[in-house]
Chains A and B, each alone.
Chain A
């Protein structure tokens, strides 16, 4: 199918009233989630995942994708007005966005964040459309060793980029892989690690686990400091940036679009990485780096563009290879599998309506967000003033209803509470859960590829180094671990000398 036919097919799918409604619902919920600190797109997608079971897969994914990039738009509002990021990818927007608000320029900050996100989202969609076909064609030639090696590299990158310590991230990834082994072995049919619990014979249920880790644990963490946010009281005017603002922002927006897309593609990358790297880049190449942190509009335009571009970028490995690049994509993969749709090299050929429907919906969703965000900013400001002590019971209620509605099983509620409690405790010990979730979802695929590779090679592990793509991925993984180990050793030596 050529691109023009695909685009027309996509529009024909998206303009169906039900898909438009769900797209709007997704971007609206996503914006609200992004505005409200304390709950991020991962938790929101996990909570709303069960609501997609009764609707066609393309409609469900359109809504879930809308939540993801909607949250990127919404997160900038809180960062600029309250100096608290609505979600993690908007952390750097606080640095200059809030300063602009204090200088009476909240309007242009919010405006450039919205326009930059729109432009970045559009450019990254064009890149997505362009790259998926050739990458899918390449992926058809992949065998089990290549798939195994790519997944190992993805996990390694996620652990390398974890904000905490590398060993802790590696432990979380390994625990995630082990959790993925619980249940029935698909090849031999034997039960593994079910510990006599009948409900575990199908494995640990994904949605309750994710809701526990990102929903319940987040609420428990926020309960430690129940307080109201103080919104910066300023008249928000002149939402449209002036010519000078556009002149300063054009370069960062274009760079952010390409950088964000590229970082979204890398397994383990994503919106958070994209925004941080873009901010560092803009500061480094700016003629006036000292202005960053004091209200430089480039510090808002670039990262906000990059984080929205990374959303479309992260769809590329999912659609071309069937491998999720980050936790959100892992959930969307889970949603597709639940609907009986397997993304991968044949996805575009076998499900062109879903593929093109998702892509065009993202464009339509970006238009909706641009229209939504700017006029509704006063509403988002009011929303920010809702005390968390009123919000948290609602969040917990949505989690409970969402979890129970999957299988009408009380066991799912207990799983959610168990993982919520354990992850709350482990967060105190500075463990991160993104590696665990990604490992849990791709673990079974990794195991299948691993076992098939060994059968192919008659038991030789060298097969992973004998095939070029697999070898490159393994070498990159080893290199990342060595780089980290080396810097760790140097830091320890430095500290020993200081002693």
Chain B
């Protein structure tokens, strides 16, 4: 249901939706929209793009025209956010993706868990180490051994070749 809020912070997302709507409309037009009698692959996204643009434009115009209607101060949405934790978690997840097939499941999972416990969760070093090792072993037994889920293993053969 409408909560009826005109917030300055909504200007940015609405602008993005407008740009997205225009882009979709143009890309869909280039796809071949066909005709109403024989709709092409671009017809449906073309109409969606127009709708998206129209709605976001309408909301943007209302926001800009009625900004003063609500005297109540907007709450600062980013005020209490610890950006380090959020960015750190995202970085660890991306790192997991980058390293999983290079270092294998066990090594990648261990380091990811360790950083999540130690840096994000702010656990003591010993606790972070113990938890990480226990969870890696448990996950290995559960997913790889019991459920037979395929996960990349550490390239031991390459390491052996390097050592020899």
Q: Do A and B bind each other?
A: yes
On A, residues with C-beta under 8 Å from B are 51, 54, 160-167, 170-171, 174-175, 177-178, 181, 185, 187-188, 190, 192-193, 216, 219-220, 223-226, 389-390, 392-394, 396-397, 400-401, 404-405, 408, 410, 413-414, 416-417, 420-421, 424, 426, 428-431, 447, 450-451, 454-455, 458-461, 484, 487-488, 491-492, 495-496, 499
On whether A224 and B93 interact (CB within 8 A), knowing A408-B150, A424-B86, the answer reads no
A-B contact pairs, 25 of them (CB 8 A): A162-B1, A164-B3, A166-B2, A170-B55, A171-B17, A171-B55, A177-B48, A181-B48, A185-B41, A226-B121, A392-B121, A393-B117, A397-B139, A400-B112, A401-B143, A410-B101, A413-B100, A417-B93, A429-B10, A451-B44, A454-B36, A454-B37, A455-B37, A455-B39, A484-B1
* Among candidates A187, A396, A484, residue contacting B89 with C-beta atoms closer than 8 Å: A396
B154 contacts the other chain (CB 8 A): no
- Are A492's CB and B143's CB within 8 A? no
Q: A394 vs B17: C-alpha distance in the bound complex, in angstroms?
A: 34
Overall SS of chain A's interface? helix
Which residues of A sit under 8 angstroms from B97, Cβ to Cβ?
410, 413-414, 417
How far in angstroms is the closest Cβ of chain A from B148? 8
Whole-angstrom distance between the alpha carbons of A177 and B109 in the complex? Answer: 35
Query: Given A488-B2, A491-B4, are A390 and B131 also a contact pair (CB < 8 Å)?
Result: yes
Q: How distant is the Cα of A396 from the Cα of B94 in the complex, in angstroms?
A: 12
Instruction: Given A392-B121, A397-B109, A404-B100, check contact A484 B93 (CB 8 Å).
Output: no
Complex contact B13–A431 (CB within 8 A): yes
Point out the residue from A160, A163, A417, A430 that lies within 8 Å of B94, measured CB to CB. A417
B residues 1-48 touching A (CB-CB < 8 Å)? 1-5, 9-10, 13, 17, 20, 24, 27-28, 31-32, 35-45, 48
Cα–Cα, bound, A192→B148 (Å): 36
Instruction: Determine how close the nearest CB of chain B comes to the CB of A128; give it in whole angstroms.
Output: 29
Q: State whether A394 touches B78 (Cβ < 8 A).
A: no
Chain A residues near B38 (CB-CB < 8 A): 455, 459
A429 with B151: CB separation less than 8 A: no
How distant is A224 from chain B, measured CB to nearest CB, in Å?
6
Q: Given the known A-B contacts A188-B41, A224-B81, are A410 and B113 also in contact in the complex, defined by CB atoms under 8 Å?
A: no
Assess the A389–B123 pair: CB atoms within 8 A.
yes
Which residues B113-163 have CB closer than 8 A to chain A?
113, 116-117, 120-123, 131, 135, 139, 143, 147-151
> Which chain A positions have C-beta within 8 A of B41?
185, 187-188, 190, 192
CB within 8 Å for A413 and B93 given contacts A192-B45, A455-B37: yes
Residues A393 and B100 in contact, CB atoms below 8 Å apart: no
A174 and B46 CA atoms in complex are apart in Å by 12
Residues of chain A lying within 8 A (CB to CB) of residue B100: 404, 410, 413
